[in-house]
Amino acid sequence: MQIWNTDSTRMIDNMLDISHFPYTHRGTFGIEQETVVPRIKLEQLDETFFGYGYEVKINNVGSAKVMAGGGDDIINLQMTTGFALPFSVLSTMSYETGVEHKLFMTAAPIEEGKSIYTFVIWRNDDVSALVEHDRTIANEVIDFSFAVGLEDQMMLEKLEGQLSLEQGALVDVQADKPSLEWRRRYKELVTS
Residue 174's closest CA among 9, 78, 42? 42
Count the Cβ atoms, other than its own, within 10 Å of residue 23.
12
CB of residue 30 to Fe ion, shortest distance in Å = 9
Distance (Å) of CA 103 to CA 19, 27, 110, 160, 189: 18, 19, 22, 26, 25
Structural contact between residues 21 and 56, judged by C-beta atoms closer than 8 angstroms: yes
Sites for Fe ion among residues 135-154 (CB under 5 A): 152
Residues 51-70 that bind Fe ion (CB under 5 A): none
> To the nearest whole angstrom, how small is the minimum distance from the Cβ of residue 59 to Fe ion?
14
- For the chain, the distance separating the N- and C-terminal CA atoms, rounded to the nearest angstrom, is 30
The interface mask with Fe ion, positions 97-136, x = CB under 5 A, is: ----------------------------------------
**Residue (13 or 140) nearer to Fe ion, CB:** 13
Kindly tell me which of 7 and 152 has the beta carbon lying closer to Fe ion: 152
By beta carbon distance, the residue nearest Fe ion is: 152
Smallest distance, Fe ion to C-beta of residue 24, A: 5
Cβ neighbours for 152, distance < 8 A, ≥ 6 positions apart = 11, 14, 15, 20, 24
**Number of residues binding to Fe ion, judged by CB under 5 A:** 1
In terms of CB distance, is 75 or 105 closer to Fe ion?
Answer: 105
Q: Residue 14 CB, nearest distance to Fe ion (Å)?
A: 6
H helix or E strand, kind and range, residue 21: helix 21-24
Q: Does 13 bind Fe ion (CB under 5 A)?
A: no
Q: Which residues are near Fe ion by CB under 5 A?
A: 152
